[in-house]
């Protein structure tokens, strides 16, 4: 070693390193061939994982898209009208000649034929009321008349008849054994205690609508010794900016969600007002309680 030059020593070192590397490679390959499959798979996975980590992949960009949806008041009005138009029916009275006289409109409250109508419109015909919808008619009986403004009617399902084109009854309709049902579409009643002054409402009748806002809330005082502004009471009437229209008497007044907040009725024979839906709910509950009580006493 002392006789070797520095260049020779470097070359000798490189040669030894090269031979050692070749020997190490041969030994490694030999051991891999003799190793069990599980160890081989593990080594391969480590190598693959290392390669995946080292080699950069494609960078995927996430794009956030914000879509602004504008809901116009006009669209909500149209939707509210469409939801409730099918719940408005025609109410007639039978005259002395056996024909029908149109009295006004009513609003369907249940699938079994509970209907609300204006009380003044029905006077003189309380025992001869006919409701009509979808080319069918049936007799209706008053089941609640405690309110000063409205009646609740119950349609008799056994009296359904088919109307002819000239507005008369088809006598042959009741001779068949088929049971015909009126296509009632009950409307959904809102919580009228949540009505706010200034909110938009839609008043419906048979053929037209009127759009306005709630202009006042009339509460009946439950505490007589307090002034009106401090009285704790129940909402008795809803005042709106819609025109005073007799044609809408008996029809529903709805909010922009299509929920019924009240019903148009006559007040003082020449002006209209709106009875809140919660008042009508109380009448319906009274009827239900009376029916249950009558069944329990039988």
For the entire predicted model, the pTM comes to: 0.68
96 and 160 fall within a common domain:
yes
202 and 141 fall within a common domain:
no
272 contacts 265 by C-beta, under 8 angstroms = yes
Q: How far is CA 15 from the centre of its chain?
A: 87
In a domain, 62, yes or no: no
Instruction: Name the domain boundary from 175, 206, 229.
Output: 175
Position 6 scores a pLDDT of 73
Given pLDDT bands bounded at 50, 70 and 90, which one contains residue 142?
Answer: very high
Instruction: Name the domain boundary from 175, 204, 237.
Output: 175
Position 164 scores a pLDDT of 64
Residue, of 36 and 157, whose pLDDT is higher? 157
Position 245 scores a pLDDT of 82
**Average pLDDT value for residue range 116-140:** 89
In a domain, 180, yes or no: no
In a domain, 124, yes or no: yes
161 and 196 fall within a common domain:
no
236 contacts 220 by C-beta, under 8 angstroms = yes
In a domain, 6, yes or no: no
Residue, of 118 and 49, whose pLDDT is higher? 118
Residue, of 249 and 169, whose pLDDT is higher? 249
**Average pLDDT value for residue range 4-27:** 76
Could you tell me the residue range of the domain that residue 153 belongs to? 87-175
In a domain, 134, yes or no: yes
Position 228 scores a pLDDT of 40
Three-state DSSP class for residue 20: helix
**Average pLDDT value for residue range 161-176:** 53
Taking the C-alpha atoms of residue 94 and residue 188, their distance in angstroms, rounded to an integer, is 30
Position 297 scores a pLDDT of 55
Taking the C-alpha atoms of residue 294 and residue 290, their distance in angstroms, rounded to an integer, is 6
Taking the C-alpha atoms of residue 170 and residue 202, their distance in angstroms, rounded to an integer, is 36
157 and 239 fall within a common domain:
no
**Average pLDDT value for residue range 60-81:** 79
232 pLDDT higher than 60? no
231 pLDDT higher than 50? no
Determine if residue 258 is left, alpha or beta; phi over 0 gives left, psi from -120 to 50 gives alpha, anything else beta: left
Identify the CATH number of the domain in which residue 264 sits. Answer: 2.40.10.10
243 and 149 fall within a common domain:
no
Position 226 scores a pLDDT of 39
Instruction: Name the domain boundary from 141, 175, 209.
Output: 175
Position 10 scores a pLDDT of 73
Position 224 scores a pLDDT of 39
What letter does residue 98 receive in the DSSP assignment? S
What letter does residue 290 receive in the DSSP assignment? H
165 and 196 fall within a common domain:
no
156 and 227 fall within a common domain:
no
Q: Work out whether strand 209-221 and strand 200-204 pair parallel, antiparallel, or are unpaired.
A: antiparallel
The string of pLDDT tens digits covering residues 24-47 is 777 666 666 665 554 445 444 444
**Average pLDDT value for residue range 46-63:** 51
115 pLDDT higher than 90? yes
Residue, of 248 and 232, whose pLDDT is higher? 248
109 and 160 fall within a common domain:
yes
202 and 286 fall within a common domain:
yes
Q: What is the mean pLDDT of the chain?
A: 79
Q: Residues with Cβ < 8 Å from 173, sequence gap 6 or more? A: 160, 161, 162, 180
Given pLDDT bands bounded at 50, 70 and 90, which one contains residue 233?
Answer: low
Q: Which residues of 229-267 are buried (b: 16+ CB within 10 A; e: fewer)?
A: eeeeeebebbebebeeebbbbbbbbbbbebbbbbbbbbb
Total number of domains constituting the chain? 2
Residue 81: CB atoms within 10 A of its CB come to: 15
Determine if residue 214 is left, alpha or beta; phi over 0 gives left, psi from -120 to 50 gives alpha, anything else beta: beta
> Which of 168-172, 217-221, 275-279 holds the top average pLDDT?
275-279
Determine if residue 113 is left, alpha or beta; phi over 0 gives left, psi from -120 to 50 gives alpha, anything else beta: left
Residue among 195, 283, 191 nearest 239 (CA): 195
The terminus-to-terminus CA distance of the chain in angstroms comes to: 128
Residue, of 247 and 85, whose pLDDT is higher? 85
226 and 252 fall within a common domain:
yes
Residue 77: CB atoms within 10 A of its CB come to: 18
Q: Residues with Cβ < 8 Å from 233, sequence gap 6 or more? A: 219, 220, 221, 222, 223
Q: Residues with Cβ < 8 Å from 44, sequence gap 6 or more? A: none
């Amino acid at each position: 070693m002392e006789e070797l030059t520095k260049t020779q020593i470097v070359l000798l070192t490189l040669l030894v390193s090269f031979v050692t590397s070749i020997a190490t490679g041969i030994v490694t390959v030999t051991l891999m061939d003799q190793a069990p499959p599980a160890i081989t798979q593990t080594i391969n996975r480590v190598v693959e994982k290392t390669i995946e980590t080292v080699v950069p992949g494609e960078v995927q960009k996430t794009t956030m898209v914000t879509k602004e949806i504008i809901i116009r008041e006009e669209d909500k009005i149209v939707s509210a009208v469409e939801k409730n138009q099918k719940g408005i029916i025609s109410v007639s009275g039978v005259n002395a000649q056996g024909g029908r006289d149109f009295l006004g409109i009513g609003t369907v409250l249940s699938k079994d034929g509970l209907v609300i109508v204006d009380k003044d419109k029905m006077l003189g015909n309380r025992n001869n009321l006919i409701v009509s919808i979808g080319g069918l008619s049936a007799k209706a009986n008053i089941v609640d008349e405690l309110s000063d403004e409205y009646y609740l009617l119950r349609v008799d399902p056994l009296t359904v008849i088919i109307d002819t084109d000239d507005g008369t009854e088809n006598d042959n309709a009741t001779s068949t054994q088929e049971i015909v049902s009126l296509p009632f579409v009950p409307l959904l009643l809102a919580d009228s205690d949540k009505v706010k002054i200034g909110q938009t409402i839609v008043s419906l009748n048979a053929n037209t609508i009127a759009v306005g806002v709630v202009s006042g809330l009339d509460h009946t005082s439950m505490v007589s010794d307090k002034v009106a502004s401090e009285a704790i009471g129940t909402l008795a009437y809803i005042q709106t900016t819609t025109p005073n229209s007799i044609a809408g008497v008996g029809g529903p007044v709805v909010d922009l969600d299509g929920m019924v907040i009240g019903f148009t009725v006559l007040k003082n024979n020449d002006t209209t007002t709106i009875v809140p839906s919660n008042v009508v709910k109380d009448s319906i509950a009274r009827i239900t309680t009376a029916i249950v009580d009558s069944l329990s006493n039988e």
